[in-house]
């Protein structure tokens, strides 16, 4: 049974005629008659009859009209619950991120909402391949994800909000001769030992591309997924690595230098993924707005060092 059919029956009961019911429902009398006829067919028995100029309800019609009240009450309660949920700015927002994004963003988010009546935050870190990020939206409200420019777009089951396009720079130690250059080319990296990521993660392909353009296969000495660990290895030794420009705190590595590649220009998209319905919630939208502001500040503060 459809809600419109039940509402037509209730209005006929309350107003005594199909014409009056149609006027109340802002439809034509013909439409009300069709709704009643369809409802009677589904019920398998007559629901109305003519009583002079009035349209009256049979006992079955009265019983069904009473049941329709319960349906309307349930719908009203559901609408109220959804509206309250959407407007509840203090409800918890669950945020997942890959490691370097979590380190760069979670603390700033916590400070932003610490003295506020806004949402409670629940942070989670996930070190997953690119194609696994969309699956995380089933357990989290917002998922901070990364994607290389030449990789497939996010599936249409999620909504992606861009945060930044983050350049990937070559990290070298302060004593490395390459640190004296403002920009680097693939040929400058011939013979270097690389800190790469585990097989299957996107950054591996970028390092392979640099090796190809340099005319030799890149030598992988270490496989470390966490950029902060990779930065510590580069700072202390003679290896090089690709490091994201915005989400690695350089203050933690005073002897690390980041040098952009003149060609190719490497980088990654940082996006926030969510289910479409999740973005209808006011508390989620407020967190997303603050996230965008924090990332904009990081991008402005982290130009390449000279």
Q: What is the pLDDT of residue 31?
A: 92
Q: How far apart are the first and last CA of the chain?
A: 72
Rama region for 52: left / alpha / beta (φ>0; ψ in -120 to 50; rest): left
pLDDT in tens, 41-53: 988 989 889 888 8
Residue 176 burial by Cβ neighbours in a 10 Å radius (0-12, 13-18, 19+): buried
CATH code assigned to 3-87: 1.10.10.10
- Polymer length in residues for the chain: 306
Query: Per-residue pLDDT averaged across 251-270, rounded?
Result: 90
CATH architecture of 93-301: 3-Layer(aba) Sandwich (3.40)
CA-to-CA separations, 239 to 21, 177, 196, 210, 218, in angstroms, rounded: 80, 12, 10, 15, 12
User: Does the pLDDT at position 288 exceed 70?
Assistant: yes
Contact by Cβ (8 Å): 237, 191: no
Mean pLDDT of the chain: 88
Residue-wise pLDDT tens digits, 81-93: 677 666 676 788 9
pLDDT in tens, 116-133: 667 889 999 998 888 899
**Does the pLDDT value for residue 79 go beyond 50?**
yes
Percent of the chain's residues with pLDDT above 90: 50
Is this structure's pTM higher than 0.85? no
Confidence of residue 201 (pLDDT cuts 50, 70, 90): confident
Give mean pLDDT, residues 137-151: 91
- Rounded CA-CA distance 45/248 in Å is 72
Domain range annotation of the chain: 3-87, 93-301
Average pLDDT over residues 220-244: 91
Give the start-end residues of each E strand in the chain. 48-51, 54-57, 93-97, 121-125, 142-147, 159-173, 193-196, 219-223, 240-244, 256-259, 267-274
Read off the pLDDT band of 150 (50, 70, 90): confident
Say what the pLDDT of residue 239 is. Answer: 93
Same fold, 3-87 and 93-301: no
């Amino acid at each position: 049974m459809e809600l419109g059919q039940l509402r037509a029956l209730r209005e006929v009961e309350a107003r005594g005629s199909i014409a009056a019911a149609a006027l109340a429902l802002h439809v034509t009398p013909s439409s009300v008659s069709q709704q009643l006829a369809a409802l009677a067919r589904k019920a398998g028995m007559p629901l109305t009859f003519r009583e002079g100029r009035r349209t009256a309800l049979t006992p079955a019609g009265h019983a069904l009209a009473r049941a329709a009240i319960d349906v309307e009450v349930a719908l009203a309660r559901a609408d109220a619950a959804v509206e309250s949920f959407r407007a509840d700015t203090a409800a918890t927002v669950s945020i997942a991120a890959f490691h370097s994004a979590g380190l760069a963003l979670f603390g700033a988010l916590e400070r932003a909402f610490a003295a506020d009546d806004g949402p409670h935050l629940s942070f989670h870190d996930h070190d997953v391949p690119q194609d696994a990020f969309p699956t995380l939206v089933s357990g989290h409200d917002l998922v901070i994800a990364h994607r290389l420019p030449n990789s497939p777009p996010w599936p249409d089951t999620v909504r992606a909000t861009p945060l930044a396009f983050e350049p990937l720079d070559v990290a070298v130690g302060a004593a490395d001769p390459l640190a004296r250059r403002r920009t680097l080319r693939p040929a400058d990296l011939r013979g270097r030992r690389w800190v790469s990521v585990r097989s299957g993660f996107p950054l591996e392909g970028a390092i392979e591309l640099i090796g190809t353009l340099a005319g030799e296969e890149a030598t992988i000495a270490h496989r470390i997924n966490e950029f902060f660990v990779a930065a510590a290895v580069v700072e202390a030794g003679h290896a090089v690595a690709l490091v994201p420009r915005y989400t690695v705190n350089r203050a933690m590595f005073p002897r690390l230098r980041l040098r952009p590649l003149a060609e190719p220009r490497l980088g990654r998209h940082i996006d926030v993924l969510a289910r479409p319905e999740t973005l209808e919630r006011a508390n989620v939208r407020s967190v997303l707005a603050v996230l965008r502001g924090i990332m904009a500040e990081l991008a402005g503060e982290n130009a390449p060092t000279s």
